[in-house]
Amino acid sequence: MEQTVTAKVKKITSSQAEVVDDVVVVEEPLEIQLSFVNGGRRVIRSVSVTMRTPGKDNELAVGFLYTEGILKNPEDVEEVSELENNKICVVLRDAIKVDFNQLSRHFYTSSSCGVCGKTSLAALKMGNAQPFKGATPILEQGFICKMPTLLRKHQQTFAKTGGLHAAALFNTSGKIQLSNEDVGRHNAVDKVAGSILLDSSLDPAESILMVSGRTSYEILQKSIRAGIPFVAAVGAPSSLAVELANVFNVTLLGFLSEERFNVYSAPERVLAITAQA
């Protein structure tokens, strides 16, 4: 499926107005369905409709269910089926139990809003998530400041349209293990989480999640459930994101650029060139 389309626009500058072709990002709905056994029979339940940019839909669906606490392990998934009309169904193994109350709050999620798209504040519960132990991964200041440039090199669709968020998973050697673009920043993170669940070679505990925008409560919630203890962003964090990062011992960086960044929590994972109080 295409991620961009061409549109006719009237481009107006201080000196002229002309009709030109412009590239805009595709935004389409994706309905995520869940197939599971209940009361001895298999049922299919619509869990969420999210506005997304097509691409890596399997990872998006699995990642959404994973970061929302519905999936626990990769072994929970029997198969992922892409259906017609922007629908995808995640089929669980027969023995996997599903909490109906948990499913009831996931019917519609906006691409631009996470928590506000949920039906109740009960969606903020972290379930059985535990604070991260230890102080790894440890990163040097010089490497951290290179991350925005490395991420931009992978934002090919953003370079064409200016209309996409990005999320990438770095390892401690400075290599981008995977990156995703999506019209919804939460979707971009879910695609990372889905890749982690489906690819056993990825080690979230020794990885860094970087996002191209700001960090909200839900971005931190998703990173914690995905097992990532280090989150960096080019934008600002919210107060709830900082609070959650401190509670779960997540290193949270904000306003990251080639010259500077702020450390909001767990600073012991950052090796600064000059230590200042």
User: Are domains 28-124 and 139-271 of this chain identical in fold?
Assistant: no
Using pLDDT thresholds of 50, 70 and 90, give the confidence band for residue 79. very high
The mean pLDDT of the chain is 87
- pLDDT of 106 > 80? The answer is no
Q: Which residues are catalytic?
A: 113
The CATH architecture to which 28-124 belongs is Roll (3.10)
- Higher confidence at residue 156 or residue 159? 156
CA pair distance 136, 116, nearest whole angstrom: 32
Listed by start position, the domains of the chain span 28-124, 139-271
- pLDDT of 155 > 90? The answer is no
CA pair distance 234, 213, nearest whole angstrom: 6
Using pLDDT thresholds of 50, 70 and 90, give the confidence band for residue 83. very high
- Residue 97 main-chain phi, psi, to 5 deg: -90, 140
CA proximity to 151, closest of 258, 50, 7, 224: 258
Peptide bond into 137 cis (omega under 30): yes
Average pLDDT over residues 228-238: 96
**Strand order through the sheet with 108-109:** 77-83, 87-92, 28-38, 41-52, 108-109
- pLDDT of 119 > 70? The answer is no
139-271 CATH choice from 3.30.360.10, 3.40.50.300, 3.40.50.150, 3.40.140.10: 3.40.140.10
CA proximity to 98, closest of 117, 121, 72: 72
Average pLDDT over residues 71-98: 92
Query: pLDDT for 173-215, tens place per residue?
Result: 889 999 999 988 999 999 999 999 999 999 999 999 999 999 9
Burial per residue of 116-146, b for 16 or more beta-carbon CB atoms within 10 angstroms, e otherwise: ebbeeeebeeeeeeeebeeeebebeeeebee
List all residues 6 or more positions away from 218 whose beta carbon is below 8 Å from its beta carbon. 114, 115, 186
Here the tokens at position 210 are: 């970087």
- pTM of the full predicted structure? 0.86
CA pair distance 114, 73, nearest whole angstrom: 23
Average pLDDT over residues 140-163: 87
CA pair distance 97, 90, nearest whole angstrom: 14
Percent of the chain surpassing pLDDT 70: 88
* Cβ proximity of 190 and 63 under 8 Å: yes
Using pLDDT thresholds of 50, 70 and 90, give the confidence band for residue 259. very high
pLDDT for the residue 232: 97
Residue 201 to residues 165, 195, 206, 211, Cα–Cα distance (Å): 25, 10, 12, 21
Average pLDDT over residues 159-179: 89
> Counting every residue, how long is the chain?
277
* Cβ proximity of 207 and 201 under 8 Å: no
pLDDT for the residue 219: 94
CA pair distance 252, 265, nearest whole angstrom: 6
- pLDDT of 120 > 80? The answer is no
